[in-house]
Structure 1
């Protein structure tokens, strides 16, 4: 196929960008022209990945944009809805009796506000760039709707890349189903209003493709995925942790069983991104202190300094590349990030996921347990994340062979999925099918 132009779009969040890099490498290695676009705050991360960056939008940090949304009215509504406010952070609710119109309406009003805060400043620059560069395919991270709008404005094919399970697509289907049951005068759709307004500004119109993508590129293990009517291109997982160095201490086999505890690079940016509070982190360390293991914990220096005790069996580091450390481990504890989740599967390791930081975790946690490859503690009750409970789960993962066997089955499945390079031909065909320019 003649070389095509491919533009990747992500919100300015490093971990989201890292997950599209391997597909960018594959397309570039196949002879296609590749550009990566996001907010200026991650321009350095983009250029250091070896791909050509296109900074778009304002340089106001994304965390500041999101924090402005937490005004008194919003916080009051969250308190009013109490437990039902979890639709804002856990999009896996699928019980019909829980998905009331009142609850869904308010959640989608907030989705519109948060998505707009993350995307709006990028749209004009993206459209202007696309009108000049004329991409054939736009691939956008699952929260980066600015990419879908820009693609529609110039007639490019466009694909959405979910990070974990595609829970947003199922929630959207539920929203449209419940909306259709309401009186005509009460059928608001905040996402259609927002995306439709942006599309019309640039000569396009709203369709559900602006929400779902014309097709998806999905690196989740096939048996764990949610069903979807949107065409999907499966790919295997290729780790990328940003520029990194292999530390001296990782260059030899551990003398004891090694357990990694890692909770994501987002901890540097926001306290609310913590899966475990500082008190719960201390409880985890104390709970694992008497085990004959080497516990490696990655935490920002600021949080390390707030801990009262670090046991003798614990090595505390700010960062270590996951693909470097995980092969030497016997188990992994993490917050549900797709990096440690898929890296653990790729190396046949049992894993313990903790908390509800990520929107698909309410489905991915139970599916991991059903596959026999690990355990999940939701932390809905803060007491669930006690050091004693984490210790009990870690001991099971280390001592019960069935967990490694379950992880091995998922590993076989993951390795059978096409590599990003092997998926390029399918992307070329889909680009020809969906491109309208």
Structure 2
């Protein structure tokens, strides 16, 4: 079987699929990974074969260009414009203004984001697929270029989720509300964008271009949103690039170890950074008297802006999460898929403050399972973090809750277990 993985050039999105790609290779299947040229090095360093598609313009350059063309001013400004309806909708509100809010969210954020991440790759991806002939295309859930390429060559295709399936949930709400509107007021900017690309290759528009034939979900089954789609449960396996186990992690810590990590994506995208240097300094000062070993992942230029580093704090530029999280008593993070999922996998209580689209769901699940705590980004202070951290360290119920989620995860199929199922689905859906 020939399997094509596709991802827009975002490292963390690609990393999310690497263990499944390895499993398919190990089972004897041919695997290729198509993405923008800027991701080629990350793909090849993972041991997989890269297929560069699209322009050499980086994702960051594209984003800046779109900001200027649409006169948003900056990524931060764009995010602020789009987040107002998104935050209102996160609570599940349904009233007369919901259609207007959803339409605005699609017009300002979802459709421009889909276009920005996919447009430059689609032609090349279809051309490669027509030559190589994949049987199955597995696409990162934001990388619709993979769905178009699969449909163009009759391949089976499925999404690989990196977080909760909020896009499908929101799309279902939009379609329901759209059907209730007068015929002249049913604008669907995302459908219009996809219809244009589908028509270019002689395809009819279908919602399947947004959902795939099936979806691989790496969250614990009890965390899943019920959208009525076909989900394949797969155990999360951590991968965050080439890894080296540092020597200081070769022994058990003498005091509770606490990790504070801001993830890989925020290194290049400052608007995703919830904690400013000032807030970080306030946090370090607030926990300086605790009998802990606080490990903070922080790039050098931000470390240099700190006024003080307490004796109980170690600043590191990068440490592989799978190397450090198992030794931690608490993990503090910004709600990235890596930080959230790896803490669940190893049964480590977590403290999250996040602006991610599914932050409300992650917070709800942490509360329901007792696996951790969440602080709203606007309420992040040194005192708030200290209070939550002390609770997580002292109350054994959080360790029990985190352990319960870990047991659920260990019961999920491994990437290797999923391979025969993918082969059957490919045979069933390919034309």
TM-score under structure 1 normalisation? 0.94
**Cα distance between partner residues in 2 of 1:67 and 1:90:** 27
Aligned-residue offset at 1:289: 1.1
Aligned-residue offset at 1:296: 0.2
Q: Deviations over 1:246-295 (max 9, x none)?
A: 11111111111100000111122121121212222122211111111000
Aligned-residue offset at 1:67: 2.6
Q: 1:259 to 1:90 in 2, by over 3 A?
A: farther
**Cα distance between partner residues in 2 of 1:329 and 1:81:** 33
Paired residues of 1:7 and 1:37 also in contact (CA < 8 A): yes
1:59 has 2:89 as partner: no
Aligned-residue offset at 1:75: 6.0
1:117 has 2:137 as partner: no
**SS of residue paired to 2:171:** helix
Aligned-residue offset at 1:161: 1.1
Identify the residue that residue 335 of structure 1 maps to in structure 2.
334
**Cα distance between partner residues in 2 of 1:65 and 1:88:** 23
Aligned-residue offset at 1:93: 4.3
Aligned-residue offset at 1:241: 1.5
Aligned-residue offset at 1:431: 0.9
Q: How does 1:68-79 map to 2 (within 5 A)?
A: 68-71=65-68, 73-74=71-72
1:45 has 2:45 as partner: no
Aligned-residue offset at 1:114: 1.3
Identify the residue that residue 256 of structure 1 maps to in structure 2.
255
1:402 has 2:397 as partner: yes
Identify the residue that residue 351 of structure 2 maps to in structure 1.
352
1:425 to 399, 420, 423: 420
Paired residues of 2:82 and 2:105 also in contact (CA < 8 A): no
**SS of residue paired to 1:306:** coil
User: How many residues of Structure 1 are paired with residues of Structure 2 in the alignment?
Assistant: 428
1:12 has 2:9 as partner: yes
**Cα distance between partner residues in 2 of 1:282 and 1:157:** 50
**Cα distance between partner residues in 2 of 1:293 and 1:97:** 48
1:106 to 100, 104, 107: 104
Instruction: Structure 1: give runs of 5+ residues left out of the alignment.
Output: none
Q: Deviations over 1:396-415 (max 9, x none)?
A: 11110000111111111000
Aligned-residue offset at 1:85: 3.0
1:203 has 2:209 as partner: no
Q: Deviations over 1:158-178 (max 9, x none)?
A: 101111111111011111111
Q: How does 1:33-182 map to 2 (within 5 A)?
A: 33-71=30-68, 73-74=71-72, 85-87=83-85, 92-97=90-95, 100-110=98-108, 111-182=110-181
Paired residues of 1:91 and 1:360 also in contact (CA < 8 A): no
Instruction: Structure 2: give runs of 5+ residues left out of the alignment.
Output: none
Q: 1:206 to 1:34 in 2, by over 3 A?
A: same
**Cα distance between partner residues in 1 of 2:255 and 2:223:** 32
Aligned-residue offset at 1:81: 11
Identify the residue that residue 25 of structure 1 maps to in structure 2.
22
Q: Deviations over 1:95-139 (max 9, x none)?
A: 213862221111111211111011100001000000000001100
Paired residues of 1:92 and 1:167 also in contact (CA < 8 A): no
Q: 1:31 to 1:53 in 2, by over 3 A?
A: same
Aligned-residue offset at 1:375: 0.5
Aligned-residue offset at 1:74: 3.8
| Coordinate RMSD, CA, aligned | 2.0
**Cα distance between partner residues in 1 of 2:101 and 2:9:** 29
Q: How does 1:220-259 map to 2 (within 5 A)?
A: 220-259=219-258
Q: 1:90 to 1:130 in 2, by over 3 A?
A: farther
Q: 1:123 to 1:106 in 2, by over 3 A?
A: same
TM-score under structure 2 normalisation? 0.95
Q: 1:369 to 1:190 in 2, by over 3 A?
A: same
Identify the residue that residue 363 of structure 1 maps to in structure 2.
361
Q: Deviations over 1:61-112 (max 9, x none)?
A: 1022123333475469x98997873445897442213862221111111211
